[in-house]
Structure 1
Amino acid sequence: MNRAAAEARGRRAERRAAWWLRLHGWRIVGRRLRVPVGEVDLVARRGRTIAFVEVKWRDRAEDLDHAIDEYRLRRVAAAAEMLSPRFARAADSIRIDVMLLAPGRLPRHLVHVWQP
């Protein structure tokens, strides 16, 4: 798969993840945010919780179990740390979530997956 096709597939996955989060009461407050230490696919708010969300798409559902690793989570957490002053207020709780998507399956939302 070439770079343009992978980019388009990633954007579709992020739209689906955002849709799923909105259906579950979240408001999307940021998309595709890049900072020098990493990037965050989605930033979502529900009440006083801010979730920095990494979205992963795989063509086969069985590949989802290996879609995220410590290296990727560490980069998302570093980016979230830099971005949190932009999105979080003093009383908010902040967490790192992962959304796993594959064809023919409902999205799987993994909550609070990273603890520095």
Structure 2
Amino acid sequence: MTSALQHRQATFLRGHRAEWIALLFLLMKGYRPLARRYAASGGEIDLIVMRGDTIAFVEVKARGLMDNALTAITARKRQRFSRAARAWLSRNDWAANKTWRADAVFIATRRWPRHIVSAFELEMR
């Protein structure tokens, strides 16, 4: 096995574990999961959760340091994320009368997860 392949596998596993940690953290805060790893229109949403009348499209970022996690959501990522959110909403018309937002959960080594409500603006055009 090449080191590049091992690195990709380790990154995949770290991301998968971070998504589970984020989901458990959000469950403890009263959110109900609607979807995990939703992919459409060239974008992916790690978690889609709901609490009350609010649907949160959640990006999960795992890094060694919290500061690195905070800067990991690029403009390109936000565009692709928003495309996937629009696709999900178009397939779930029951969600039209809900409030939508883009949240983020940051995971760093030996730190509590950090949930940022409305971490960035969804591009709904």
Q: TM-score, normalised by structure 1?
A: 0.91
* Equivalent pair of 2:41/2:87 in contact (CA under 8 Å): no
* Equivalent pair of 2:41/2:83 in contact (CA under 8 Å): no
Select 1:114's aligned residue among 114, 117, 121.
121
Which AA in structure 2 matches 1:99? V
Select 2:83's aligned residue among 37, 55, 78.
78
Deviations 1:68-92 (A, max 9, x none): 1221111111110111234452321
Partner residue of 2:35?
A: 30
Partner residue of 2:103?
A: 97
Structure 1: stretches of 5+ with no match in the other structure? none
Offset of residue 65 of structure 1: 2.8
Q: TM-score, normalised by structure 2?
A: 0.85
Partner residue of 2:3?
A: none
Q: Whose radius of gyration is greater, 1 or 2?
A: 2
Q: Residue 18 of structure 1: SS of its match in structure 2?
A: helix
Q: Residue 111 of structure 1: SS of its match in structure 2?
A: strand
Partner residue of 1:62?
A: 67
Residue correspondence of structure 1 range 12-31 to structure 2 within 5 A: 12-31=17-36
* Equivalent pair of 2:45/2:58 in contact (CA under 8 Å): yes
Deviations 1:5-43 (A, max 9, x none): 111110000000001100101011100011132010000
How many residues align structurally?
A: 116
Residue correspondence of structure 1 range 34-53 to structure 2 within 5 A: 34-53=39-58
RMSD over aligned Cα atoms = 1.5
Q: Please list every run of at least 4 consecutive aligned residues from structure 1 whose deviation after the TM superposition is greater than 3 angstroms.
A: 85-88
Structure 2: stretches of 5+ with no match in the other structure? 1-5
